[in-house]
Structure 1
Amino acid sequence: MVSSRDLNGDSGRIKPASAAVTQNGHSNCGAVAFVPLKEKIDKRIQARDPWFSLEFFPPRTEKGATNLVGRLDRMGEGGPLFIDVTWHPAGDPGGDKVTSSTKIAGTVLNYCGIDTMLHMTCSNQTKTTVKKNLEKTKRLGVRSILALRGDAVGNDWQYNDDGLNYGSDLVRLIRDEYDDYFTICVAGYPKGHPDSESYEEDLLHLKQKVDAGADMIITQLFFKAEEFLKFQNDCRDIGIECPIIPGIFPIQTNRSLVQLTKLSKLDVPDDVRSAIEPIKDNDEAIRNYGVHYATALCKELLESGQVLGLHMYTLNLETATISILKSLGLWLPAISRPLPWKTSGNPERQANEVVRPIFWGARPKSYIHRTQNWDEFPNGRWGDSASPAFGELKDYHLFYLRSRTANEKLLQQWGELTDEFDVWKVFSLFISGEKNDGGYKISETPWCDGLSKETEVMRDRLIMYNNLGILTINSQPNINAMSSTHPVFGWGGEGGYLFQKAYLEFFVKPEYAEALKKVLPKYEPRVNYHMINRDGEDFTNADRQTPNGVTWGIFPGKEIVQPTVVDPVSFIVWKDEAFGLWMEKWGALYDPTSTPYKIIESICDSYYLVNLVDNDFPKESILWDVLDDMLTTAGVKKE
C-alpha cells in the first residue's frame, strides 16, 4: 500500500503492473512470470531434466524458526524446484504463531524466495475451518498444497458428517472452490497405506484422489528402488498418469529411523537393520551409512529412466541431504540471478516487482517485510519519488530478520570496545576476513550477514578506508557492458549486457562529514551525494523527488531493465533502520551503563550516513578520490 502521494504522482496507489504489460502498454521487463508448479514439473519431465525438492517441518520454538530460515537460505542455493512444509495439527498449523505451518510456509516463500508447497489435512475439521485455512494460504501467496486426510485423533478414525473425511474430499473441495489456482499434490504409498485393507484397494483410493483433481503424487518413504518402480507401474496400469515423485529418507540417526518407520508403519529391511545394529549408538557412522544408502537408492531410481524428480525428507537437517544431492550431481547453484537483488517467491510480487532502492541490498528480508502490504509495485522504473508507504520496522527481532548467531558469539566477534577505533577495526576485519585479537573471525555486522562477491573487487581499498573510519555498509563498482552471465556481476539470463554506476554507502564521524561538504562541490555534477544524521539533518545535491538509476541491463528483444535505484525519499526511510541497527543489534549486547554501550550510542547519535554515486560509469570511478580529498581536508594521512 502507498500513502496519499503515490510513486507516479497521483493520489491513491502505485500504478498497477502485470507480468507482461503495464497500464501504459509497456512490457514490465525483468518481472518473473508465474509458472504453476505442475507446469514446472511437466517441463522438466519433457526436457528429461532431473530435479529435487525438500521437505521441512515447523520447529517448536522461535529460535528454531530463526535457525530454520537460515538453513533454508543455504539449501535454497542448491536449486530445489520447491520445498514443502508439513502440517502439524498439534501446533496450531493455520494460526499466526511463529511455529505454525502456515507462518513457516509464508516465510519460506516470501522471504527465502523458494517456491513453497504447504501440507494441509482435513480430518477432524469442519469445512469452514478448512476453507479458512485455504483462504489464508492464498493470501500468503502459496500456490501449491499437499492435500492429506491426516491422522486420527486417538486410536480409531471416525467418520465426520459435517466435515471432510478423505484426501479425495479435500482435493475435490480445493478444485470446486479455487479451480486451477492451486497445484494439488497427494500422497502415495509404495507399500500401501497402513489403514487400507489391501495394496490394491489403496491404489484405487489414490486414483480417486487423482480423478478428483490432483496434479501430482509424492510417495511415502521406501527402502528399495524396486518397491517404487513397481508402485509407479501399478499406478500407470490403472490409469494414473500424473507425475509420481519418490520420497527419499536419508537415515541420519537410529532414533529418527525408529520414529519414522513407526509413524509410517513400515518394516525396516533386514540388511538395513543388520548394518545399523553395530553402529546404532554412533550418530556419525549412521549418518555416513544413511548417505551412502540413500545415494545408491537415488542412483538406481534415476538410472532406471523412469524417475526424474526426488523429494528429500530432510528432518530439518542439511548436511546429509546436501551430500547426497552433490553426489548425484543435482546440487546446482544458480549461475545467473533473475535480478541483482534477492527476489521473493510470492507469485504476485515476482510478476510485478522489478525495481528496488539499493539501500536494502544486504537486508532483502527487511525490505520485503517493510513493503509486504504493498498490493502493487512500481512498473519497470521507480517513477517520480513521492513517499512510498514503507511499513515501520519496530521489531528488529522478528524471527526471519534476527541474526542467527548467538549473542555470546556476536560479543566474541565484535568485542569489548574501549574506543571508536575498536569499532572501525570490526568493520575492517569483517571485510579482510582476518581474526580479531580474541582469535575470532567476524562473519557479520548488523547491516550485513555476509560479503557479496562484488566486495572482493574493491576489497583492499575498502579495508584501508574502514581502518580510517569510513565505515562502509554497501557498495558496488562501476561496470560497462559486462556479460549478463558474468560469475560475479551476472543477472537476468543469457545474451545481455550489464551496467552499473559506482556506489558507496558509509557512516562517518561529524568531522569527516564537514570535510566532505567542503570537497564535494568540485566533483559536481558527476558525483551525487546524500548525507544524513540520526536526527534527520541532511545534505544532498540530488533532486529530492528523482531517483537515480544505478544498475541496468540490456537484453535481446526487451526494453532496458533498471532494477536498482538510489532514491532520496527511500534513503530517509532507510536512515532510521540503518541508525537503529547500531543500538538494536550492537548496543543491545552490552549493559547500558558500560563503556562499549556508550561508544555505540555516541556513534549512533553523532555519525552521518552517506551515499555517493559516480554517474560517469564508463570511466574509472572517482569516489576514491572524493574520500582521499575528504581525509586530506580533515587532516588525516593515509598510511
Structure 2
Amino acid sequence: MASLNYSGLDTMLHMTSAGATIADIDRHLAKAKNMGIRNILALRGDRLEDGNPSDFEYATMLVKHIRKKYGDYFVIGVAGYPSGHPEANSYEEDLKYLKEKIDAGADFIITQLFFKPEVFLKFVNDCREIGIRVPIIPGVMPIQSYDSLRHIVKLSKLEVPQEIVEIVEPLKHNDEAIQNYGIYQACEMIKAMFQSGVAPGVHFYTLNREVATMSIIKQLGLWNCQPQRPLPWKVVPSFRRCQEEIRPIFWSTRPNAYIHRTSHWDDFPNGRWGSSESPAFGDLRDYYLFYLKSKSTKEELLEMWGHSVDSYQDVWDVFYHYLMGLPNKNGVKITKIPWNDEELCPETAVISERLACLNKRGILTINSQPNVNGVDSTDPVHGWGTQGGYIYKKAYLEFFVSGRRMQNLKHILTQYSQINYHIINKNGRFNFTNAHRQCPIAVTWGVFPGREIIQPTVVDPESFLVWKDEAFGLWTEQWAKLYPEGSKSRQIIESIANNYYLVNLVDNDFPKETVLWEVLDKLLSCDDGNHEEDYESTDESLSCSSVSDEVDSQLQKLSV
C-alpha cells in the first residue's frame, strides 16, 4: 500500500496458491482491492514440505478463481518458462499448461530468467504458434555476484551458457568486475530483444539491489530524469484515486499526509471541489500517531533545528537557512522543516530569496506559489499536463505571524480588494476571512487542447479549518517535543504554536505583478521596535537588503 499510495508506484501483488485455501485467497484478494491494487501475478509457488492439500493445485486454478469472483477487475499475470518448467515432462507439455493459464483468463506473461536473447525469441514464437496472443515480457536478472548467480541457478535449475561461465569463473572473487559484466550482458540482451520488436518491455529481477538495474536503464536511454507531471501534485496510481484531479493547496508540501487523511474516501473530486461544509478528512486524534511524526531521527532534527532554542530569532533563522539552502550556525544544512517533507520545489526556489527575507524577520512562510500567466505546459518549473497546454497560477502565500502583526495585517489588507485572505488561530476562535466559506478559489489551472479547463489546486476555506489543526500541531509534535518538558527551547516553540496566527493570502490579479510582497513590506514597516510576549527578535531592524548582504557573505565563506 505504501508503494502505491505514498510513493506513487504502480504495484503488482505476487500471489502464490500453494498450501492456500479458498478463504485465504479470498481474504488476500479483498484486501488488495481495498488497498487499490489491480495487478496480480498469479503463481503456484513451491509446494509445501508438509504435504498439506491446497484448494489450488495449479496456477490455472488460481487464475480461474480470480476471474470468476472479480471478473475483469484485476489484471492478471502468469509465469512463463522459456526453457521449460523443471517439473514438466517436456518443453512442449509446459507450453500446453501455459496456454491453459491464458485460456483461464490471464492477461500477460512474465518469463523466468534466461541468459541468451535467442531463448526468449524462440519461446515467444512457440507461444504464438499454439495461439497465445497476450504480451510476453522477458524477465532479466543482471548477474551481480558469483555467489548470487550460483544460488539462483540452483533454485531455478537453469544451465548457464558456457561462454558466460568462462567469463565469470576467473572473476569470482571480484564482485565489482562481475557486476560490470552483468550490466553489459543484460544491456546486450535487452537491446537484441527490443530490436527484434518482440519484447513489449522488460521485467527486472533486482534481488533488492537497485544499482545494476538503474545503470542498465540509463545505458539503454530509458531513464527519464524529468518526466512530465500529469498534475502539479504527486499522482497516486490507485484505481480509487485514478479520477482525482483537484486538491486543496494546503497539503502541497505534505502530500503523504493528505493521502493518508483521505485514504478512506470512496470518491475523489475530478472537476470541481465540492461545496460541503464538512470535508470528511481523517480524524486528527488518530492522525497524530502517524503523519505528524517526522521520518527523520530526533538527532537529525536537532542537528538541523538546533540542540537549543534561545530566542525567537533562532526559530526564524531555521526557516531562513532552509529557504536559502545555507548551513546553520553549526554548519549543518537544513533540508526540511515540519511543514515541508522535502527540499524546496523548483517553483518555490524562484521566490526563495523574497521568502527568506520575510522569514528572517518573523513572517514564517510554510507554503507559497508565484503567479504565472500562460506559460507552456512543458515548462521545467511550472509545467504539468500534456503538451500544447498553458498554465496559470495566482500568487499564494501561507505563513505564521505574531498577534501584533496580525492586527496590522488586517488593517493593511483593507487597501487591497484583489486579495482574498483567511486568518485563524490555534483553537479556531479567531477565524477571519473575506472569502465565501463555501466557494473554493482556484489558484492553479491549465488549458489543454480538446479538454475542459483543469483546476488541480484550490484554496478552500472549509478545508483550511482542517489543515490548521495539522499546521499548528506540527509545531508541538515535530519541534517542541525534541526538547525536555519545561525547557526554554520547548517553551519558545510552544509559545509560537499557542500565540501566532496562521494566514493565507491569494492575489486574484494573476496577470499583473503580485502585490503580496508589497503588503508584507508594509507590514514589516509597521514594526515600532516594541517586542511582545508572542514574538521577539534579536534583530528586528534587519532589512531585506541586509539579508541579501548576509547571503552573499555566507556564500563567499562557503566558496573559500
Taking structure 2 as the reference length, the TM-score comes to 0.88
Which of the residues 95, 105, 112 maps onto 1:220?
112
| Post-superposition CA distance 1:92-128 (Å, at most 9, x none) | xxxxxxxxxxxxxx33223333322211111111112
Write the letter of the residue equivalent to 2:245.
Answer: V
Structure 2 match to 1:237? 129
SS at match of 1:551: strand
Match of 2:497 in 1: 604
Report if aligned partners of 2:293, 2:477 keep a CA contact under 8 Å in 1.
Answer: no
Q: Aligned residue for 2:231?
A: 339
Deviations 1:217-263 (A, max 9, x none): 00122222222222222222322221110112123344543443333
Residues 425-474 of structure 1 deviation map (CA, whole Å, 9 limit, x = unaligned)? 22222222222233322222222122111012112212222222222211
The answer as to 2:502 corresponding to 1:578 is no
CA contact (8 A) 1:338 1:492 kept: yes
Distance 1:198 1:514 in 2: 84
Aligned counterpart, 1:320: 212
Amino acid in structure 2 at the alignment position of 1:567? D
Structure-2 residue corresponding to 1:136: 31
CA distance in 2, matches of 1:519, 1:406: 41
Aligned: 1:430 with 2:322: yes
The 8 Å contact of residues 398 and 505 in structure 2, kept in 1 or not, is answered as yes
1-side partners of 2:115 and 2:424: how far apart?
Answer: 62
C-alpha distance in 1 between matches for 2:326 and 2:426:
31
> Using the alignment, how far apart are the partners of 2:152 and 2:160 within structure 1?
10
| 1:423 to 1:297, Cα distance in 2 relative to 1, 3 A | farther
Give the alignment of 1:581-592 within 5 angstroms. 581-592=474-485
Deviations 1:346-391 (A, max 9, x none): 223222x222110001111211211122222335111434111111
1:166 corresponds to: 58
* Aligned partner of 1:620 among 507, 513, 516: 513
Cα distance in structure 1, aligned partners of 2:121 and 2:302? 54
Contact 1:111 1:345 in 2 (8 A): no
Whether 1:356 aligns to 2:251 is: no
SS at match of 1:112: coil
Task: Give the structure, 1 or 2, with the largest relative contact order (CA under 8 Å, sep 6 or more).
Answer: 1
Code of the residue aligned with 1:114 in structure 2: it is L
Residues 321 and 413 of structure 1: is their aligned pair in 2 closer, same or farther, counting only changes over 3 Å? Answer: farther
For the pair 1:391 / 2:287, whether they are aligned, the reply is: no
Shift of 1:502: 0.2
Identical amino acids, percent of aligned pairs? 55
Aligned AA for 2:31? K
- Find out whether 1:307 has 2:202 as its counterpart: no
Which residue of 413, 423, 446 maps to 1:531?
A: 423
Distance 2:409 2:121 in 1: 70
Structure 1, 323-332 or 402-411: larger mean CA deviation: 402-411
Query: What residue in structure 2 maps to residue 454 of structure 1?
Result: 347
**1:22 corresponding residue in structure 2:** none
Contact 2:21 2:56 survives alignment (8 Å): yes
Task: Give the 5 Å matches for 1:106-505.
Answer: 106-154=1-49, 159-160=53-54, 163-273=55-165, 275-277=167-169, 280=172, 283-333=175-225, 335-351=227-243, 353-393=244-284, 394-396=286-288, 398=290, 403-417=294-308, 418-448=310-340, 449-505=342-398
Q: Distance in 1 between matches of 2:387 and 2:155?
A: 47
Runs of 5+ unmatched residues, structure 2? 529-539, 547-560
For residue 574 of structure 1, what is the amino acid of its counterpart? Answer: W
Residue 284 of structure 1, CA deviation: 4.3
**What SS does the aligned partner of 2:223 have?**
coil
Counterpart residue number, 1:76: none
Quick one: which of 428, 447, 457 aligns to 1:564?
A: 457
Q: CA deviation at 1:190?
A: 1.8
Conserved in 2, the CA contact under 8 Å of 1:336 and 1:484? no
Verify the 8 A CA contact 1:221 1:248 in the aligned structure 2. Answer: yes
Closer, same or farther: CA 429–266 of 1 in aligned 2, 3 Å = farther
More deviation, 173-182/258-267: 258-267
Counterparts of 1:283 and 1:414, CA distance in 2: 41
**What amino acid does structure 2 have at the position aligned with 1:205?**
Y
Displacement after TM superposition at 1:500 (Å): 0.9
The secondary structure found in structure 1 opposite 2:457 is strand
Count matched residues. Answer: 528
SS in 1 for 2:458: strand
Deviations 1:480-526 (A, max 9, x none): 12222222111221222221110011122333323322322212x21
Q: TM-score, normalised to structure 1's length?
A: 0.78
Q: What does the per-residue CA deviation read over 1:31-74, in whole Å, with 9 as the maximum and x for residues that have no partner? A: xxxxxxxxxxxxxxxxxxxxxxxxxxxxxxxxxxxxxxxxxxxx
User: Is 1:512 the equivalent of 2:405?
Assistant: yes
**C-alpha separation between the residues in 2 aligned to 1:325 and 1:287?**
15
Question: How many angstroms apart in 1 are the aligned matches of 2:373 and 2:350?
Answer: 15
Partner AA of 2:42 in structure 1: A
Determine if contact 1:117/1:146 at 8 Å carries over to the other structure.
Answer: yes
Given that 1:511 and 1:634 are in contact with CA atoms closer than 8 Å, whether structure 2 keeps it comes out as no
Structure 1: gaps of 5 or more residues:
1-105
- In 1, Cα distance between the equivalents of 2:322 and 2:178? 37
Preserved CA contact (<8 Å) 1:112 1:345: no
For 1:582, the aligned partner's letter is W
SS of the counterpart of 1:425? Answer: helix
Alignment of 1:17-32 (within 5 A): none
- When the two chains are superposed, the root-mean-square deviation of aligned CA atoms in Å is 2.3
2:339 match: secondary structure: coil
